[in-house]
Amino acid sequence: MIKFIHPELLITALTHRSAINEKKGSRESNERLEFLGDAVLELVVSAYLFRRFPGLNEGELTAKRAQIVQTKTLAAAAKNFGLGGQIIMSKGEVKAGGADNPSILANTFEAVTGALYLDQGLTVVQNFIAAQLLTRLDSLFPQAKVTDYKSRLQELFQKRYKTAPKYRLIRAFGPEHKKTFIVKVYLKGQAQGLGQGLTKQESEQQAARQALEKIRHIC
């Protein structure tokens, strides 16, 4: 467990509301810290994604962030960190398996994040989130990984050709509620990949993937 300058913050972060109901007036629950931690997590994860994936647009970044901060992922991080056995709960909640409850685990992870932010500031909490969540995404929750072919292609183009890829919408067809888009990606005026999807973003990702396969002979 992390060493806190103010240990009472950690105790509050670990206190589930059921413990308050069982022993009224004994302590504060972690719900307020959970609220703060949720905001801190969104900020840190958003900044990480913004820097890590320059090829993703706002919608794609939002979707990827949602995958990372969802209950299943945070619960896995909390369990890996050993929070389950540290949560202060009522006897009834313990018997009901609260230590393994994904919602309780995720909420506690958020509360500890909020408490750490108050106790030691943003830099420390960034390191905590990186160590416990961002660098372990593949093992915590493989589905949280989103392959970003656009960013990989852009990095390759910039490094090898000192220029950025350009995407062009070739055609869109189908009913308004279910259109199909066809996009090509170009390098110095030459088409390098073709993509098709139900959104422009998906089509661009597929075009970038094809270009990578062509240029680097990888998937």
Instruction: Tell me the catalytic residues.
Output: 38, 110
- What distance in Å separates the CA atoms of residue 212 and residue 15, rounded to the nearest whole number? 49
Question: Three-class SS of residue 101?
Answer: coil
Angle 32-33-34 from CA coordinates, rounded to 5°: 90
- What distance in Å separates the CA atoms of residue 126 and residue 132, rounded to the nearest whole number? 10
Whether residue 12 contacts residue 28, with contact meaning beta carbons closer than 8 Å, is answered with yes
Q: Measured on CA atoms in the order 112, 132, 67, 73, is the torsion positive or negative?
A: negative
143 burial (CB, 10 Å; 0-12 / 13-18 / 19+) is exposed
Q: Measured on CA atoms in the order 104, 108, 111, 113, is the torsion positive or negative?
A: negative
